[in-house]
A and B are shown apart, each in its own frame.
Chain A
Amino acid sequence: MLELKVLSKHFGGVRAVDDLSLAVEKGQIFGLIGPNGSGKSTTVNLICGVFPVTSGRVLLDGKDITRAQPHQTLAAGIARTFQNIRLFGQLTVWQNLWVAQNGLEDRQRENFLRRWMSGNRRARESVEELLEFSGLADKRDALARNLAFGEQRRLELARALSAKPKLLLLDEPAAGMNLEEVGALDDRLRKIQDRGVTILLVEHVMDLVMGVTDRIAVLNFGKKIAEGTPAEIQDDPAVQEAYLGGAGGRRAAAAG
């Protein structure tokens, strides 16, 4: 469903992503791991159109979306979360989700004017459902910036889901979470997968990645150094070398 073809992104002299090719199958949870600064977030930003690519192509269901803007990749069915949480802090939890629904409808354009000013029942129901799913129902009227850290992460995930994506890009959704929260996230990711959503999971928390993913690619200095099932990756000497030798060694060891 998602294909990256010899994708590169250079920032000046830094090859943040270097000739990266990979293919994510429909319905998979695909892990993207690697030491700090290996180009994971940059890859996510390239897929959803935040940065222009230096070279290479991004295909979604065979369609070229390399040059699409963020709102166009969203319309194409790609939603994301951010490594540094980005929410509308001055809006309530409910509004954060409601407005994401609004974007969805703007892009569908049917009855645009009628829906525009007035709330719409279907959107409301879908927001309610997401609140339940994310365990945020009792926080609906809180301002997003007043939420606890884990709640903010859940809200971000809910917002991404409210766009009803085919493909979900998650950039370190477990960062800063405690064990219990990571367990709940694991559950939630499987439920999302059951709904038929494909997930690209960038993550340092190895318990989560090894447990939940179907397939993993490992980046180091922007290059893919390994790809395979979680078991294969765990036994791969090149991966161990990158983690233990690289800058991310200590963090990965601590996390996993």
Chain B
Amino acid sequence: MDPYLVSVLSNIGMISFIALSAYLLLLTGEISFGQQAYFAISAYGSGIATAMWGWPFWAGLLWGATLAGLAATLVAIPTLRLRGLYFSIATLAFAEMVRLVFEIFTYQVEIDGELVGPDGSDGFRDIRYIYDSNVTAFEYMLVIYGLLALVLIGFFVLERARLGSVFRMIGEDPMLTEMQGLNATAYKVLAAAMAGVIAGIGGGLYAHLTTYVEPKIFNVMLGVHSLAYGLIGGLGTALGPLLGVGIDIGFLESIRAISGYRMIVFGGLVAVLLIIRPRGILDEATVHWLRRRWRRWIHAQD
């Protein structure tokens, strides 16, 4: 496979995790500008585990995602009591704080005569586990998509389970949800924890793909993009945010003619869609309609 294509697809896969993470919170009606914090925490956490502590890749990834989930839970408990805009601002502030902490975070050990580990704003080099294990870029892409498939299956199960309906109910009318006897805040904390883990998986994958992480890439723009993917692609299904990622990275980035203006085109797209389709391309009504169509078609076959 063409190495360029492999690298684009790997990027799409990785960013999909953080897009799904923001999407999960959007389902409960919460707008988080800060999912990049959990992406970063896991990128550092899993990198430290494999490059410095000699852990195997899967253990490192699990550890990073767990850290991210814990951090998300701890942040969610106080901030989800805030409503709407205040929650959004709190997530943004927390993510910037995390980034600034990584700007000064230094923790290095000597391995084979070389210093390895995070070095403040110089970043964290030599997260080489994947290369040292002779995993090719193509194989690693399969790892990314394998995990993405698992997370997607998780989302489809969620949508069919009560929990998914409860998340959507909270997104639509939290007060009415409370009146059904459900503790909306507790469910939101659960959603935030799950979203943290999902962003964490993406972050761990990212660190091991690039072998190098630096604090400045976990800036607000990453968070804003993650949020925008769901809003563009649609909130009716977990495939929505993936469509959003595909449009941005797969389509806009590959059209060379607009390369320099990608951000402007992307921003314009978001603005237009928010006006004409406030819940994205694959919104609930569209997904519902497609599902009915699909069922009818299946029926017609037998």
Task: Please list the residues of chain A having a beta carbon within 8 angstroms of any beta carbon in chain B.
Answer: 48, 69-71, 74-75, 80, 86, 88-92, 95, 98-100, 102-104, 106-107, 116-119, 141, 143, 159, 163
B285 at the interface (CB under 8 A from A): yes
Query: Could you list some 11 contacts between A and B, CB below 8 A?
Result: A48-B179, A71-B178, A88-B168, A99-B166, A100-B180, A102-B180, A116-B162, A117-B161, A143-B284, A143-B288, A163-B181
Check if A74 sits within 8 Å of B168, measured CB to CB. Answer: no
With CB as the reference atom, state the residue of chain B lying closest to A94: B165
Using known A-B contacts A117-B161, A119-B162, A141-B292, determine if residue A74 contacts B179 with beta carbons closer than 8 Å.
Answer: yes
Given known contacts A71-B183, A103-B180, A143-B284, what 18 new A-B pairs fall within 8 Å (CB)? A48-B179, A69-B178, A70-B175, A71-B180, A74-B180, A86-B176, A88-B169, A88-B176, A95-B165, A102-B162, A102-B180, A103-B181, A106-B181, A116-B162, A117-B157, A117-B161, A118-B161, A143-B285
Check if B161 sits within 8 Å of A91, measured CB to CB. Answer: no
B5 at the interface (CB under 8 A from A): no
Bound Cα distance A116, B166 (Å): 11
Check if B178 sits within 8 Å of A102, measured CB to CB. Answer: no
With CB as the reference atom, state the residue of chain A lying closest to B157: A117
Q: How far is the CB of B229 from chain A (nearest CB, A)?
A: 20
Q: Which interface class (under 10, 10 to 19, 20 to 34, 35 or more) fits B?
A: 20 to 34
Using known A-B contacts A88-B169, A98-B165, A116-B162, determine if residue A75 contacts B178 with beta carbons closer than 8 Å.
Answer: no
The contact string, 1 if C-beta is below 8 Å from chain A, for chain B 141-171, is 0000000000000000100011101101100
Main secondary structure of the interface of B (DSSP, over half): helix
Q: Which residues of B contact A90 (CB under 8 A)?
A: 168, 172, 284
B271 at the interface (CB under 8 A from A): no
With CB as the reference atom, state the residue of chain A lying closest to B176: A86
B59 at the interface (CB under 8 A from A): no
Q: How far is the CB of A21 from chain B (nearest CB, A)?
A: 26
Bound Cα distance A118, B162 (Å): 7
Bound Cα distance A99, B176 (Å): 12
Check if A99 sits within 8 Å of B169, measured CB to CB. Answer: yes
B263 at the interface (CB under 8 A from A): no
Q: Which residues of B contact A141 (CB under 8 A)?
A: 292
Using known A-B contacts A86-B173, A89-B172, A143-B285, determine if residue A70 contacts B165 with beta carbons closer than 8 Å.
Answer: no
Bound Cα distance A89, B168 (Å): 10
B182 at the interface (CB under 8 A from A): yes
Task: Please list the residues of chain B having a beta carbon within 8 angstroms of any beta carbon in chain A.
Answer: 157, 161-163, 165-166, 168-169, 172-173, 175-176, 178-183, 284-285, 288, 292
Q: How far is the CB of B238 from chain A (nearest CB, A)?
A: 15
Q: Which residues of A contact B181 (CB under 8 A)?
A: 71, 74-75, 103-104, 106-107, 163
Most buried by B among A86, A90, A100, A106: A90
Using known A-B contacts A88-B169, A91-B168, determine if residue A116 contacts B179 with beta carbons closer than 8 Å.
Answer: no
Check if A98 sits within 8 Å of B168, measured CB to CB. Answer: no
Check if A99 sits within 8 Å of B183, measured CB to CB. Answer: no
Q: How far is the CB of B230 from chain A (nearest CB, A)?
A: 15
Q: How far is the CB of A49 from chain B (nearest CB, A)?
A: 9
Bound Cα distance A114, B176 (Å): 25
Q: How far is the CB of A138 from chain B (nearest CB, A)?
A: 14
Check if A106 sits within 8 Å of B182, measured CB to CB. Answer: yes
Of A71, A80, A89, which is within 8 A of B182 by CB?
A: A71
Q: How far is the CB of B169 from chain A (nearest CB, A)?
A: 5
Q: How far is the CB of A8 from chain B (nearest CB, A)?
A: 23
With CB as the reference atom, state the residue of chain A lying closest to B184: A71
Of A103, A116, A159, which is within 8 A of B163 by CB?
A: A116
Most buried by A among B172, B181, B182, B285: B181
Q: Which residues of B contact A48 (CB under 8 A)?
A: 179
Q: Which residues of A contact B161 (CB under 8 A)?
A: 117-119
Q: Which residues of B contact A75 (CB under 8 A)?
A: 181
Q: Which residues of A contact B168 (CB under 8 A)?
A: 88, 90-91
Q: How far is the CB of B181 from chain A (nearest CB, A)?
A: 3
Bound Cα distance A107, B181 (Å): 7
Bound Cα distance A120, B163 (Å): 13
Q: Which residues of A contact B288 (CB under 8 A)?
A: 92, 143
With CB as the reference atom, state the residue of chain B lying closest to A143: B288
Bound Cα distance A102, B169 (Å): 12
Of A80, A99, A159, A163, which is within 8 A of B162 by CB?
A: A99
Bound Cα distance A98, B161 (Å): 10
Q: How far is the CB of A84 from chain B (nearest CB, A)?
A: 12
Of A74, A88, A103, A116, which is within 8 A of B172 by CB?
A: A88
With CB as the reference atom, state the residue of chain B lying closest to A86: B176
With CB as the reference atom, state the residue of chain A lying closest to B169: A88
6 tightest A-B contacts by CB?
A103-B181, A103-B180, A70-B179, A90-B284, A74-B181, A107-B181
Check if B180 sits within 8 Å of A99, measured CB to CB. Answer: yes
Of B163, B165, B179, B292, which is within 8 A of A91 by CB?
A: B165
Q: How far is the CB of B287 from chain A (nearest CB, A)?
A: 10
With CB as the reference atom, state the residue of chain A lying closest to B160: A119
Of A69, A99, A106, which is within 8 A of B165 by CB?
A: A99
Bound Cα distance A141, B289 (Å): 11
Bound Cα distance A100, B166 (Å): 10
